[in-house]
Chains A and B, each alone.
Chain A
Amino acid sequence: MADSKYVLEVNDLHTSFFTDSGEVKAVNGINFKLEPGKTLGIVGESGSGKSVTAYSIMQILAQAGRITSGEVLYKGEDITKYSEKEMQKFRGSKCSIIFQDPMTSLNPVFTVGYQLEEAIMLHTNKNRAQARERAIELLKLVGVNDPEKRIHQYPHEHSGGMRQRDMIAMALACEPDILIADEPTTALDVTIQAQILELMQKLQKELGMAIIMVTHDLGVIASMCDEIMVMYGGRVCERGTADDIFYAPAHEYTKGLLRSIPRKENMNKKLVPIGGTPINLLNMPAGCAFCPRCDEAMKICLTEAPEEIRVGDTHLASCWMNIKEAFENSKEA
Chain B
Amino acid sequence: MDNREMKKSFLSAQVDVSKFNAGNFEKATDDEKRQQDVMGESTTFFKDGMRRLRKNPLAMGSIVVLVAIILAIIIAPHFVPYSYDEVITVNGQRDKTMTNLDFMCYSDKELAYMEETGEDLFPHIFGTDGLGRDYFIRVIYGTRVSLAVGVVAALMVVLIGIIYGSVAGYFGGKVDLVMMRIVDIIYSLPDMLIIILLSVVLKEVLAGKLAGTVLSRLGTNMISMFIVFGLLYWVSMARLIRGQILTIKNNEYVLAAKCIGTPNRKILTKHILPNCLSVIIITTALQIPSAIFTESYLSFLGLGVSIPLSSLGSLANDARAGMQSYPARLVIPAVIICLIVLALNLLGDGLRDAFDTKLD
Q: Are chains A and B touching directly in their complex (CB below 8 angstroms)?
A: yes
Smallest Cβ distance from B222 to chain A, in angstroms? 45
Interface 1/0 per residue, B11-24 and A, CB below 8 Å: 11011010010111
Given contacts A283-B38, A283-B40, A312-B3, contact A297 B33 (CB under 8 A): yes
C-alpha gap A282/B37 in the complex (Å): 11
C-alpha gap A322/B3 in the complex (Å): 14
Q: Say if the beta carbon of A87 comes within 8 Å of chain B.
A: no
**Contact at A20–B34, with CB atoms within 8 Å?**
no
Query: Size range of the interface on A?
Result: 35 or more
**Contact at A296–B36, with CB atoms within 8 Å?**
no
Q: Which residue of B lies closest to A320 (CB)?
A: B25
Query: Size range of the interface on B?
Result: 20 to 34
**Contact at B25–A311, with CB atoms within 8 Å?**
no
Interface 1/0 per residue, A319-333 and B, CB below 8 Å: 010111111111001
**Contact at A322–B11, with CB atoms within 8 Å?**
yes
Taking CB atoms, residues of chain A closer than 8 Å to B3 are 248, 312
**Contact at B25–A299, with CB atoms within 8 Å?**
yes
Taking CB atoms, residues of chain B closer than 8 Å to A301 are 28
Interface 1/0 per residue, A283-314 and B, CB below 8 Å: 10111000111101111111000000111110
Interface 1/0 per residue, A243-275 and B, CB below 8 Å: 000001000000000000000000000000000
Q: Say if the beta carbon of B79 comes within 8 Å of chain A.
A: no
Q: Say if the beta carbon of B358 comes within 8 Å of chain A.
A: no
Q: Which residue of A lies closest to B26 (CB)?
A: A299
C-alpha gap A112/B259 in the complex (Å): 43
Taking CB atoms, residues of chain B closer than 8 Å to A285 are 36-37
Smallest Cβ distance from B92 to chain A, in angstroms? 64
- Which of B11, B23, B38 contacts A325, CB < 8 Å? B11
Taking CB atoms, residues of chain A closer than 8 Å to B32 are 297, 299, 302
**Contact at A311–B27, with CB atoms within 8 Å?**
no
Taking CB atoms, residues of chain A closer than 8 Å to B22 are 327
**Contact at B11–A300, with CB atoms within 8 Å?**
no
Taking CB atoms, residues of chain A closer than 8 Å to B14 are 309-310, 326
Q: Say if the beta carbon of A280 comes within 8 Å of chain B.
A: yes
Closest 4 CB pairs of A and B: A292-B37, A326-B11, A285-B36, A300-B24
A-B contact pairs, 19 of them (CB 8 A): A248-B3, A282-B40, A286-B36, A291-B33, A291-B36, A298-B24, A298-B28, A299-B23, A299-B24, A301-B28, A302-B28, A302-B32, A311-B7, A311-B10, A312-B3, A312-B10, A325-B8, A326-B11, A333-B12
Beyond A312-B3, A327-B22, 12 extra complex contacts between A and B, CB < 8 Å: A291-B28, A291-B36, A297-B27, A299-B24, A300-B20, A309-B14, A311-B7, A312-B7, A326-B11, A329-B8, A330-B17, A333-B12
